[in-house]
Amino acid sequence: MTRPLYLALAVLLSTLPAFGQQNQAAALPCPATEKAVLEVEHQLWAAPRTRDAAALDKLTDERFISTDDYGVRTGKRELLAHYRQPEGRVHEDTDEQPADIRLVFTNGVAILNFTKHGTGYDKEAGISFSFNSVITRVFTCSNGEWKSVVFHETAIPNKTRQPSSIAANQLDEFVGRYQFVDQGAKGEISVVRKGDKLFETWLGDEKPTEILPGKYDTFFTRGDWSVERFVRDKSGKVTGILYTLHDGELEAKRLP
C-alpha cells in the first residue's frame, strides 16, 4: 500500500465517528409524552375546520394512509386536494378534545386511540345527525416532529340514538319464534318480552340482546349496524323479520 493511499484511508476512517454523530443529530427524537402527541392531534383537528391545507401538509407524512368509517382509503394527495376545495353541502363539527384516550409508544412511532362525538349538518336539506367514532392515528417521528402517517375511523353505531315510543300492548305482536329461511339456513330466533322491553336471542345464545324500537316496525341494538324490520301480511299480522346487514340481508319466518 502506498503512503498517500494509507493517509487517505486514515483520514476517512477518522471522520466516520463524526459523520455518525451528525446523522444522529439530524435525526432528532420526538418527545414521547401524551402532551406532545395531543398537541399535534389538536392541530390536526383545527386545520380542517379552516380548510388549511398548508398546515395539514406539514402535519402529515408523505406515506399517509387514511381509512374512514365507510371503508374509503385515501392518501396524502387526496387528503390535501379535498381541503383545497370549498366545503360542500355537509358541514361536520366534532368535539375539540378527544375522550377515552389510549396512547402507546413503540419502535419510534406513537399510536393514539380515542373517541369523539360529532354532528353533521346538511345545509341544503336543513337536517342534522349525530355520530360517535373510535379513531386510531399513528404518528411517525420526522426530525423531532410527530407526523400523522395512518388514520382509521370506526363509527360506533347507535350509541346515543333514542328509541321511538311504542305502546306496551304492541310489544306482544312481535313476541315469538322465528327461523332463518335463506340458503337452507335453519337457525332459530326467539323474541321475548320482559316488562316494557323486547329481547332477542339468536341460535340459543345464553345472553339475550335488547332490541329497541325505531319507526315503522324497525328495531335496532346498541353497538350493531344491522337493522331489523318485522314483516306483516295483508291483515297486519307479523309473519317474519327482515335483517339488513352491512352487505346483505337475512330473512326469518315466524314459526307457528
Short-list 130, 240, 140, 229, CA closest to 180: 240
Residue 230 has pLDDT above 80, yes or no: yes
Find cell 345472553 and name the residue: 207
Q: Do 131 and 184 sit in the same domain of this protein?
A: no
* Mean pLDDT taken over the chain: 87
Q: Do 173 and 219 sit in the same domain of this protein?
A: yes
3-state secondary structure of 94: strand
Q: Do 143 and 181 sit in the same domain of this protein?
A: no
Q: Do 136 and 174 sit in the same domain of this protein?
A: no
Of 120, 155, 190, the last residue of a domain is 155
* Residue 213 contacts residue 230 (beta carbons within 8 Å): no
Residue 183's pLDDT is what?
A: 67
Q: Do 104 and 204 sit in the same domain of this protein?
A: no
Give the β-pairing of 145-155 and 60-67: parallel
Identify whether 24 is part of a domain: no
Residue 202's pLDDT is what?
A: 87
Find cell 484511508 and name the residue: 9
Q: Which of 40-54, 91-105, 178-192 has the lowest mean pLDDT?
A: 178-192
Residue 21's pLDDT is what?
A: 37
Residue 9 has pLDDT above 70, yes or no: no
Cell for 221? 341494538
Q: Which of 2-16, 32-46, 102-116, 155-169 has the lowest mean pLDDT?
A: 2-16
Q: Do 141 and 43 sit in the same domain of this protein?
A: yes
Q: How many Å apart are CA 112 and CA 40, to the nearest integer?
A: 11
Q: How many CB atoms lie within 10 A of CB 219?
A: 22
Going by pLDDT thresholds of 50, 70 and 90, the confidence category of residue 185 is low
Of 155, 182, 198, the last residue of a domain is 155
Q: Is the pTM of this model over 0.75?
A: yes
Q: Do 138 and 244 sit in the same domain of this protein?
A: no
* Residue 158 contacts residue 220 (beta carbons within 8 Å): yes
Provide CB contacts within 8 A for 53, sequence distance 6+: 47, 80, 83, 84
Q: Do 125 and 174 sit in the same domain of this protein?
A: no
Indicate which CATH number applies to the domain containing 183: 2.40.128.50
Mean pLDDT of 12-31: 51
Identify whether 26 is part of a domain: no
Residue 203's pLDDT is what?
A: 80
Indicate which CATH number applies to the domain containing 42: 3.10.450.50
* Residue 216 contacts residue 232 (beta carbons within 8 Å): no
Mean pLDDT of 9-23: 37
Range of the domain at 250: 168-254
Number of domains within the chain:
2
Residue 182 has pLDDT above 50, yes or no: yes
Identify whether 199 is part of a domain: yes
Identify whether 244 is part of a domain: yes
* Residue 96 contacts residue 116 (beta carbons within 8 Å): no
Q: Do 104 and 174 sit in the same domain of this protein?
A: no
**Percent of the chain predicted with pLDDT > 90:** 72
